[in-house]
């Protein structure tokens, strides 16, 4: 009984104080229809495709938006890869690397139909283990790049939602 009453009190305070999730502000700033253009890197086209997939996934799942054409969109995201790095972070007793950190940096240009245009530099990280005395497999590499890209996009989403809250949108 106390759990139900406690949950009701917490819900009452959250609703009563005007709490809204940050995705609400981000969605108001970006709109429902978002055009995404990821610049394909000549040096590393595979990573560009992975990042494009991660961006599309984030737009749909985290923002609740829809991918649209440039002319039908409420806002446009132009994304290019700054860098993708794999750094050893953990060694076993014999000195072999057993864990890596992937760091992905992205440059994001945001344009809205309202005339707002901003540039962001974001970075994301993802840690993953490997077997001692082995190399990073393609599957692990792709997974790490995808999750690090999603982390960088989360930073972008946070910055957009803060801008929207400050402007009172």
CB 46 within 8 A of CB 53: no
Residue 10: inside a domain: no
Q: Got the DSSP string for 143-168?
A: HHHHHHHHHHHHHHHHHHHHHHHHHT
Residue 27: inside a domain: yes
Give tens-digit pLDDT for 13-34: 656 566 666 667 777 777 888 8
Band of residue 2 on the pLDDT scale cut at 50, 70, 90: low
CB 136 within 8 A of CB 98: no
Tell me the CATH number at 70: 3.30.160.150
Residue 5: inside a domain: no
Residue 152: inside a domain: yes
Q: How high is the mean pLDDT of the chain?
A: 82
Average pLDDT, stretch 44-63? 79
pLDDT surpassing 90 at residue 134: no
Question: Exposure pattern of 89-99 as b/e (b: 16+ CB <10 Å)?
Answer: eeeeeeeebbe
Give tens-digit pLDDT for 91-115: 988 888 899 999 999 999 989 888 8
Distance CA 71, CA 63 (A): 20
Number of structural domains, the chain?
1
Residue 33: inside a domain: yes
Distance CA 134, CA 84 (A): 20
Residue 128: inside a domain: yes
Band of residue 166 on the pLDDT scale cut at 50, 70, 90: confident
Give tens-digit pLDDT for 109-122: 989 888 888 999 99
Domain interval for residue 138:
23-167
SS3 42: coil
SS3 64: coil
Quote the pLDDT of residue 168. Answer: 65
Residue 56: inside a domain: yes
Quote the pLDDT of residue 81. Answer: 86
pLDDT surpassing 90 at residue 127: yes
Residue 9: inside a domain: no
């Amino acid at each position: 009984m106390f759990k139900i009453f406690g949950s009701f009190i917490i819900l009452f305070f959250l609703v009563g104080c005007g709490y809204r999730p940050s995705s609400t502000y981000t969605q108001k700033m970006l709109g429902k229809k978002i055009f995404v253009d990821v610049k394909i890197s000549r040096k590393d086209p595979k990573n560009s495709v992975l990042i494009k997939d991660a961006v599309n996934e984030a737009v749909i799942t985290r923002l609740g938006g829809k991918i649209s054409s440039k002319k039908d969109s409420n806002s446009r995201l132009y994304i290019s890869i700054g860098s993708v790095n794999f750094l050893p972070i953990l060694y076993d007793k014999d000195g072999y690397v057993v864990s890596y950190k992937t760091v992905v940096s992205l440059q994001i240009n945001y344009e809205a139909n309202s005339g707002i245009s901003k540039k962001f530099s974001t970075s994301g990280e993802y840690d993953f283990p490997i077997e001692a005395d082995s190399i990073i497999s393609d599957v692990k590499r792709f997974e790490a790049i995808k999750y690090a890209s999603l982390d960088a996009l989360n930073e972008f989403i946070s910055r957009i939602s803060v801008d929207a809250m400050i402007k009172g949108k």
